[in-house]
């Protein structure tokens, strides 16, 4: 636990404060949450009740009904789970900075969880500067704290993999669930009243044109548990073979739940290891995706402030793409044509339709999808911006290091130069013939043929 704790300021405890506060943001769960358990330990040590606060704001770019519905479905269920542990869960209509500063006035200390995106890192920095009590940030997003793995931006998965695997066994440890000595559920704290996620939706002003996808992915820890159980019992034994085939249903479907912190990756891996040996090739394949590549994405965002910009890709990649700006492009599409799947390519359209309808796109198709944007725009910067726009607006697991690293990979990040060709230069190329060779892509098109 010690390596997960970071004190973000040099303030002293206010021992006359009314309570210990955990300002929850990234880890929206009641179990396997290191930040929550650390806050309970402080509460017990200080003999003060613990309050968990979530600041609900609609000021995000792409604040839309799709991802707010999913998140709020989870938060309503979370209140019940925290109350079961004797902990008061409060939702405030406020942004993270203002809400945290306000609650700090009556607090002994504030604990928060960790987020690797620059906006959320800025929030924590501003709160740490402006409150008069300590702010502790606890790593509960990564299995291994990023700085412990590497002190620099890692160029490839192959360079970070041995560093993670060298430490992994030490960190594959259950999170001890502690009992709060002082219950706080009867504590009177100003908050919004809600019984359902709709009550909370009524409080915020968001884009309602991007529809919820609850029939595919309902928010909440209980739903994540269902997907995990199905994955372990029915899919994992063939994961390595079929995970990249969009015509077969062998992905875990857990990424939206992981993105909102509704379930812990550490918990997922430990549950898998109750049923499978860690040396099993399917388990190794899953760990490579859920641990190695996921934590590489956080390394990328932590050490590269331009992670969601074209300017953040490697210099060699920018150079080779810009060397080919004059190459003939057979198709150049507007953002509107792309957004509504109006291209000549039925495979690409099917991927975009899957995204529009379900809030998720198969990982293999995501790569093809982003690569084609390079081919169909007049400049790779436009392609990068379009990819981020569509990812952030429609993906339930968008606005995440995984998504930004994945898009950037399609532009050369964490990859090497390949054979030179038109438009792409030395960037790795993907085409429709490759899809046809790998699987029955027409089955995928049949499934996602209309918006």
Homologous superfamily (CATH) of 310-447 is DNA Cyclobutane Dipyrimidine Photolyase, subunit A, domain 3 (1.10.579.10)
What are the C-alpha distances in Å from 420 to residues 416, 425, 440? 12, 5, 28
- Asked if 424 contacts 374 with a C-beta cutoff of 8 angstroms, the reply is yes
Confidence of residue 190 (pLDDT cuts 50, 70, 90): confident
What is the arithmetic mean of pLDDT over 103-132? 97
Beta pairing class for 135-138 and 107-113: parallel
In the chain, CATH 3.40.50.620 covers 2-141
* 142-173+220-303 carries CATH number 2.60.120.260: no
In the chain, CATH 1.25.40.80 covers 142-173+220-303
Protein fold of 2-141? Rossmann fold (3.40.50)
Q: Looking at residue 363, what is its pLDDT?
A: 93
- Asked if 307 contacts 378 with a C-beta cutoff of 8 angstroms, the reply is no
Q: Looking at residue 1, what is its pLDDT?
A: 84
In the chain, CATH 1.10.579.10 covers 310-447
CA distance 420 to 30: 50
Confidence of residue 449 (pLDDT cuts 50, 70, 90): confident
* Count of CB atoms situated within 10 Å of the CB of 132: 12
- Asked if 46 contacts 133 with a C-beta cutoff of 8 angstroms, the reply is no
Which pLDDT tens digit goes with each residue over 304-332?
999 999 999 999 999 999 999 999 999 99
Q: Looking at residue 59, what is its pLDDT?
A: 87
pLDDT > 80? residue 451: no
């Amino acid at each position: 636990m010690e390596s997960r704790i970071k004190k973000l300021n040099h303030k002293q405890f206010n021992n006359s404060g009314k309570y210990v506060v955990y300002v929850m943001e990234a880890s929206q769960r009641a179990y396997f949450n290191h930040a929550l358990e650390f806050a309970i330990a402080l509460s017990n040590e200080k003999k003060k009740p613990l309050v968990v606060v979530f600041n609900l704001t609609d000021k995000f770019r792409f604040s839309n009904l799709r991802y707010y519905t999913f998140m709020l479905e989870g938060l309503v269920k979370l209140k019940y789970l925290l109350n079961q542990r004797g902990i008061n869960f409060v939702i405030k209509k406020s942004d993270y900075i203002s809400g945290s500063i306000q609650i700090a006035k009556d607090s002994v200390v504030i604990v928060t969880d960790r987020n690797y995106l620059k906006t959320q890192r800025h929030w924590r920095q501003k709160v740490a500067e402006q409150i008069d009590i300590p702010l502790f940030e606890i790593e509960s997003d990564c299995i291994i704290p990023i700085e412990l793995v590497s002190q620099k931006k890692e160029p490839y998965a192959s360079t970070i993999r041995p560093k993670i695997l060298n430490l992994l066994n030490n960190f594959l440890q259950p999170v001890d669930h502690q009992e709060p000595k002082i219950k706080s559920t009867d504590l009177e704290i100003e908050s919004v009243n809600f019984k359902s996620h709709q009550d909370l939706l009524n409080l915020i002003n968001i884009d309602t044109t991007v529809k919820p996808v609850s029939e595919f992915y309902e928010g909440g820890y209980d739903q994540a548990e269902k997907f995990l159980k199905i994955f372990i019992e029915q899919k994992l034994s063939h994961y390595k073979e079929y995970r990249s085939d969009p015509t077969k249903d062998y992905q875990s479907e857990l990424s939206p739940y992981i993105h909102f912190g509704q379930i812990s990756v550490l918990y997922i891996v430990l549950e898998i290891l109750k049923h499978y040996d860690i040396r099993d090739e399917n388990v190794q394949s899953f760990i490579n995706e859920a641990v190695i590549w996921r934590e590489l994405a956080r390394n990328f965002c932590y050490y590269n402030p331009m992670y969601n910009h074209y300017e953040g890709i490697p210099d060699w990649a920018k150079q080779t793409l810009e060397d080919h700006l004059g190459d003939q492009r057979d198709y150049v599409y507007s953002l509107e044509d792309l957004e509504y799947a109006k291209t000549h390519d039925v495979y690409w359209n099917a991927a975009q339709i899957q995204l529009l309808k379900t809030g998720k796109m198969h990982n293999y198709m995501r790569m093809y999808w982003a690569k084609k944007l390079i081919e169909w725009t007049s400049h790779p910067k436009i392609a990068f911006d379009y990819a981020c726009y569509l990812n952030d607006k429609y993906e339930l697991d968008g606005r995440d290091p995984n998504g930004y690293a994945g898009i950037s990979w399609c532009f050369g990040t964490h990859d090497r130069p390949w054979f030179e060709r038109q438009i792409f230069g030395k960037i790795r190329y993907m085409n429709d013939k490759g899809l046809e060779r790998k699987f029955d892509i027409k089955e995928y098109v049949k499934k996602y043929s209309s918006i």
